[in-house]
């Protein structure tokens, strides 16, 4: 099992939770981003991959290299849909698990909202990340990590 982080937009609080687990459990963890990232000290199982700049480059790398039984952290619902189809566990930074039972409805809602934003009907983005989100993420992350190990 390997943990993959779609790291370009992952909140620092999420990375901290993952790094502590990677250190404690000695789980290989890979950050994938369009720019070089600094790695946490004292976490020999954590590495990073820098992909070319461009839309979906990090996504493509994660899809190509992840395996069934791995765990991916991403807020990108189209990426999550590709991974769930490949039997890769996926959670978002707010603690929502994507799975075969919910991914199609999440993808449909994402596409619907994207259409509304494109038409100018909705502006703005997600609410700020907060402590409640971090707690929800940590709980889902720990549960899935225990299940996959």
Going by C-beta distance under 8 Å and a sequence separation of 6 or more, which residues neighbour residue 139? 95
> Where does the pLDDT of residue 79 fall: very low under 50, low under 70, confident under 90, or very high at 90 and above?
very high
For residue 75, count other CB atoms closer than 10 A to its CB: 18
pTM of structure: 0.88
CATH topology of domain 3-148: Rossmann fold (3.40.50)
For 81-119, write each residue's pLDDT tens digit. Answer: 999 999 999 999 999 999 999 888 777 676 666 776 677
Instruction: Tell me the domain boundaries of the chain.
Output: 3-148
pLDDT attached to residue 126: 73
pLDDT at 104: 80
pLDDT, tens only, 136-148: 999 999 999 999 9
Helix (H/G/I), strand (E/B), else coil: 33: strand
6-41 pLDDT, tens digit each: 998 899 999 999 999 999 999 999 999 999 998 999
| 3-class secondary-structure state, position 47 | strand
Q: Contact at 8 Å (CB) between 3 and 29?
A: yes
What does the pLDDT average to over 35-63? 92
């Amino acid at each position: 099992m390997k943990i993959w982080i779609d790291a370009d937009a992952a909140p620092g609080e999420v990375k901290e939770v993952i790094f502590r687990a990677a250190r404690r459990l000695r789980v290989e963890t890979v950050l994938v981003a369009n720019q070089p990232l600094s790695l946490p000290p004292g976490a020999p199982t954590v590495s990073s991959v820098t992909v070319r700049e461009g839309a979906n480059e990090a996504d493509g790398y994660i899809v190509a290299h992840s395996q069934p039984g791995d765990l991916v952290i991403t807020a990108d619902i189209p990426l999550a849909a590709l991974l769930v189809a490949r039997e890769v566990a996926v959670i978002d930074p707010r603690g929502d698990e994507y799975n075969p039972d919910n991914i199609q409805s999440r993808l449909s809602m994402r596409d619907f909202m994207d259409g509304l934003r494109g038409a100018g009907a909705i502006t703005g983005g997600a609410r700020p990340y907060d402590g409640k989100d971090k707690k929800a993420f940590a709980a889902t992350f720990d549960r899935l990590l225990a299940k996959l190990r």
